């Protein structure tokens, strides 16, 4: 998966840590899920993911309309979204580390092409 082109150092660091760290986290979530929770389908986790993303979006909507929302509520819903995404990915046999790695490279290539013509991503 190593790429020879030159990326910004911040992206190089991200890519270097991504495979080992995210792969390990995803595996650990799978082990915990299998040990302690009922087996669920990818469809279940996809619906859960979208439900949790909706809860997070609802907080942002309220905040946007001027209602004070404690930071802890955003943190709680962001955690729900991440957990649901990892559970979905495990149920769907998606290697998140590889998927994110590949996507970041695509995004960076597109971003740098735009930068070369004076536009922003
Ligand atoms: Mg929630």
pLDDT in tens, 13-24: 999 999 889 999
pLDDT digits (tens, 9 = 90+) for 26-62: 999 999 999 999 999 999 999 999 999 999 999 999 9
Assess contact for 77 and 59: CB atoms under 8 A: yes
Distance 69 CA to ligand 1 centre (A): 14
Q: Decide if 53 is inside a domain.
A: yes
Tokens 């986790």 belong to which residue? 45
Distance 74 CA to ligand 1 centre (A): 9
CA 117 to chain CA mean position, Å: 29
Distance 5 CA to ligand 1 centre (A): 40
pLDDT band at 108 (very low <50, low <70, confident <90, very high): very high
Distance 71 CA to ligand 1 centre (A): 14
User: What CATH number does residue 76 fall under?
Assistant: 1.10.287
DSSP secondary structure of 24-76: HHHHHHHHHHHHHS----HHHHHHHHHHHHHHHHHHHHHHHTT----HHHHHH
Distance 49 CA to ligand 1 centre (A): 9
Distance 36 CA to ligand 1 centre (A): 19
pLDDT of residue 1: 47
Nearest 5°: CA angle at 31, between 25 and 32?
90
- State the total domains in the chain: 1
Is this model's pTM higher than 0.75 or not?
A: yes
Q: Decide if 35 is inside a domain.
A: yes
Q: Decide if 73 is inside a domain.
A: yes
Q: Decide if 50 is inside a domain.
A: yes
Distance 46 CA to ligand 1 centre (A): 14
Q: Decide if 101 is inside a domain.
A: no
Distance 104 CA to ligand 1 centre (A): 27
Q: Decide if 52 is inside a domain.
A: yes
Report the candidate in 87, 27, 78 with the shortest Cα–Cα distance to residue 57: 78
The range of the structural domain enclosing residue 59 comes to: 22-93
pLDDT of residue 106: 97
Q: Decide if 67 is inside a domain.
A: yes
Q: Decide if 8 is inside a domain.
A: no
């Amino acid at each position: 998966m190593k790429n020879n082109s030159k990326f910004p150092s911040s992206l190089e660091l991200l890519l270097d840590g991504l495979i080992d760290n995210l792969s390990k986290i995803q595996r650990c979530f799978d082990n915990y899920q299998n040990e302690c929770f009922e087996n669920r389908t990818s469809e279940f986790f996809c619906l859960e993911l979208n439900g949790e993303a909706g809860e997070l979006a609802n907080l942002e909507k309220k905040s946007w309309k001027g209602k004070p929302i404690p930071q802890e509520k955003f943190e709680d819903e962001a955690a729900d979204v991440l957990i649901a995404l990892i559970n979905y990915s495990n149920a769907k046999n998606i290697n998140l580390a590889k998927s994110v790695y590949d996507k970041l490279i695509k995004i960076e290539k597109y971003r740098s092409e735009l930068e070369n013509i004076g536009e922003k991503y």
